[in-house]
């Protein structure tokens, strides 16, 4: 290969800058791509098909009214702390964890499907998880402002950090995006991204070289007004389609024009492949709820069913269910929304069983942050640590992982108004799933830059232990 002269290098970088590309980010991207390619080649595809589904609950779910103390002593603490937003003890659904949680727990009365998944060993809870910079964070260090996540208690910052796993800075690159940078080449077909979003553009799936392929609950969306068979049609679509084909046929001198034409062509190819591959009839016997979430998860199942035709060995999916910022009437709002969540997740798992794919898929819940234990008079406010759950055949279920905190007033973890310091970091939570999806432990720092503060990548033990 002919080496560029210094002048042509400068000209190349100047042209790249004109195209809106930072030379520093360009070089970083090239280095990341080179390293990622080597890692992907080293590990190769194994363990068959695997998919990770992120269900993001935008707004910050009040998860201490999802996983609730049920024993008499601990319920009394919970009721005293939560006051008018506490759930009645006799309405809680019983669960029986096989590990020692240190207290008797129950679930919100609106989630019987989740209760069944847990009791059958197909779901687990991760208690008091959240964004952390320092595993030794205390009330004193919090009050001193030491090593705290950026923009703590802010919706936008905490949503970004749960998706980026970089709580020390703002970043538009997500941990699933960085994960895809490392392992995407194990998929035999690169026309459709391994990261598929049913909720539009997101930080979670944005990498340095891999981005999400956005679809709707109904599947892929074609280029507006474009018809490949325009030659047999007349009218507006014919004119639009002829214009698009004309664009694609031209040779552009301008870098941005070339990129745009290439993107259009790639989008059309991806649409054809995705639409044909996911045009499947799912097994009978499971009815998905008509809710938007139910329909999104049904589309995820169709995509999983078409994974062989898509050439997919690894996938991530991003699904969101917003509206959890319940400063007002948290009890009434969750009584409406939690059944929607539970029914959709229950149908999703049951369909995976019908498809014989339950051991190939893990669904996990993420949200902005936990909510304050104390009531603001009507609802709960922004807080920190909260409870998440995971569902799937690989889940070592019927357990509550992490440390479920005492909810009494003046708890050492309480930094004020029932806002609890997390005892499990999102890095540990995510690392468990990244390893399961195929990221080598030694490559975890590329995906989760802060993982070394919470987990020794040379350890023979898993970060948490909820996946088999």
> What is the full DSSP assignment across 162-193?
HHH--TTS--S--HHHHHHHHHGGGSS--SS-
pLDDT of residue 250: 55
pLDDT of residue 268: 73
Class of domain 18-219+284-453: alpha beta
Helices within 278-360 (DSSP H only): 292-305, 307-310, 330-355
Per-residue confidence of the chain (468 residues) as pLDDT tens digits?
333 333 333 333 333 333 333 334 434 443 454 454 444 443 444 569 999 999 999 999 999 999 999 999 999 999 999 999 999 999 999 999 999 999 999 999 999 999 999 999 999 999 999 999 999 999 999 999 999 999 999 999 999 999 999 999 999 999 999 999 999 999 999 999 999 999 999 999 999 999 999 999 999 876 544 455 444 444 556 666 666 666 655 554 455 455 544 554 567 778 899 999 999 999 999 999 999 999 999 999 999 999 999 999 999 999 999 999 999 999 999 999 999 999 999 999 999 999 999 999 999 999 999 999 999 999 999 999 999 999 999 999 999 999 999 998 789 999 999 999 999 999 999 999 999 999 999 999 999 999 999 999 999 999 999 999
Q: What's the Cα-to-Cα distance from 392 to each of 19, 333, 367, 453, rounded to whole Å?
A: 44, 27, 19, 28
| 129 close to 90: Cβ distance less than 8 angstroms | no
Work out the burial of residue 38: count CB atoms within 10 Å of its CB; fewer than 13 is exposed, 13-18 middle, 19 or more buried: exposed
Strands 361-367 and 386-391: antiparallel
pTM of the model: 0.85
Structure tokens at 287: 């009815």
DSSP code, position 84: G
| Alpha carbon distance 468, 457 (integer Å) | 17
Give the start-to-end residue ranges of the domains of the chain: 18-219+284-453, 223-277
pLDDT of residue 45: 42
| Alpha carbon distance 360, 79 (integer Å) | 40
| 40 close to 185: Cβ distance less than 8 angstroms | yes
Structure tokens at 377: 């008079």
pLDDT of residue 323: 98
């Amino acid at each position: 290969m002919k080496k560029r002269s210094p002048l042509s290098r400068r000209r190349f970088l100047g042209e790249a800058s004109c195209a809106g590309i930072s030379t520093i980010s360009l070089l970083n991207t090239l280095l990341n791509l080179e390293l990622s390619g080597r890692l992907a080649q080293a590990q190769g595809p194994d363990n068959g098909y695997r998919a990770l589904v992120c269900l993001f609950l935008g707004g910050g779910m009040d998860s201490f009214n999802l996983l609730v103390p049920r024993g008499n002593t601990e319920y009394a603490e919970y009721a005293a702390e939560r006051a008018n937003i506490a759930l009645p003890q006799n309405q809680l659904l019983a669960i029986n964890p096989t590990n020692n949680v240190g207290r008797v727990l129950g679930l919100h009365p609106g989630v019987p499907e989740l209760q069944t998944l847990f009791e059958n060993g197909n779901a687990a809870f991760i208690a008091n998880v959240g964004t952390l910079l320092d595993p030794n964070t205390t009330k004193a260090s919090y009050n001193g402002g030491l090593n705290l996540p950026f923009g703590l208690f802010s919706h936008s910052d905490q949503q970004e950090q749960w998706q980026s796993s970089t709580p020390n800075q703002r970043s538009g690159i997500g941990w699933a995006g960085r994960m895809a940078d490392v392992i995407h080449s194990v998929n035999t077909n690169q026309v459709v991204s391994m990261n598929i979003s049913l909720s539009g553009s997101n930080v979670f799936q944005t990498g340095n070289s891999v981005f999400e392929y956005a679809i709707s609950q109904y599947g892929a969306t074609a280029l507006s007004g474009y018809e490949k068979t325009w030659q047999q049609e007349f009218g507006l679509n014919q004119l639009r389609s002829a214009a698009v084909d004309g664009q694609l046929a031209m040779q552009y001198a301008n870098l941005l024009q070339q990129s745009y034409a290439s993107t259009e062509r790639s989008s059309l190819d991806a649409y054809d492949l995705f639409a044909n591959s996911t045009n499947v009839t799912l097994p009978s016997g499971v009815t998905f709820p008509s809710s938007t979430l139910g329909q999104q998860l049904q589309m995820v199942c169709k995509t999983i069913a078409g994974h062989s035709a898509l050439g997919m060995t690894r996938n991530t999916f991003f699904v969101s269910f917003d509206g959890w910022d319940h400063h007002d009437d948290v009890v009434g709002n969750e009584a409406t929304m939690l059944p929607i969540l539970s029914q959709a997740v229950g149908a999703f798992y049951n369909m995976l069983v019908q498809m014989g794919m339950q051991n190939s898929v893990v669904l996990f819940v993420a949200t902005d942050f936990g909510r304050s234990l104390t009531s603001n008079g009507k609802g709960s406010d922004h807080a920190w640590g909260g409870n998440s759950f995971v569902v799937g055949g690989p889940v070592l279920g019927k357990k509550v992982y992490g440390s479920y905190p005492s909810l009494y007033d003046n708890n050492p973890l309480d930094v004020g108004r029932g806002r609890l310091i997390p005892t499990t970091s999102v890095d540990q939570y995510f690392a468990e799933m990244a390893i399961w999806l195929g990221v080598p432990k030694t490559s975890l720092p590329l995906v989760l830059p802060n993982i070394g503060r919470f987990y020794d990548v040379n350890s023979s033990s898993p970060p948490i232990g909820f996946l088999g």
